[in-house]
Structure 1
Amino acid sequence: TNPTDLFGHLFWEIGSVGQNVAGDTLRIEMVRPTLGQRQVVLDVCHRPLTLVNFPSFGLGDQTFVRNSGDFTHAFLGEGGNISTAFARVFAYSAQKSLVIGTDTTCTVPDGSTEVGRRDVDLGMSPGEQVSDFISNTGIHVISVATNFNGLTNLVRADSIYYLDEGLRLWGTSAVGSSTPGMDMNYNHTFQPGGACVVTCGGGSGNTSERMVFAASPDTSILAFDTFFFNQQKKIIIRDPIIGPLRVAKDSVPGQPATQLLFAITTKGLVVITLPTITNTNPQAPPVRTSVSGRH
Structure 2
Amino acid sequence: MRHVEFTTPGGPEVMRIVEGPVPTPRAGEILVKVEAAGVNRPDVAQRQGSYPPPKDASPILGLEIAGEVAGLGEGVTGFTLGDKVCALANGGGYAEYCAVPASQTLLWPKGYDAVKAAALPETFFTVWANLFQMAGLTDGETVLIHGGSSGIGTTSIQLAKAFGATVYTTAGSAEKCAACVELGAAKAINYKTEDFVEVIKADTGGKGVDTVLDMIGAAYFDRNLQVLAKDGCLSIIAFLGGAVAEKADLRPIMVKRLTVTGSTMRPRSPEEKRAIRDDLKSEVWPRLEAGEVAPVIHTVLPFADVAAAHRLMESSEHIGKIVLSFD
TM category (shorter chain) comes to under 0.3
TM-score (norm 1): 0.28
Higher fraction of strand: 1
Higher normalized contact order (CA 8 Å, seq sep 6+, divided by chain length): 2
The structure that is helix-richer by fraction is 2
TM-score (norm 2): 0.26
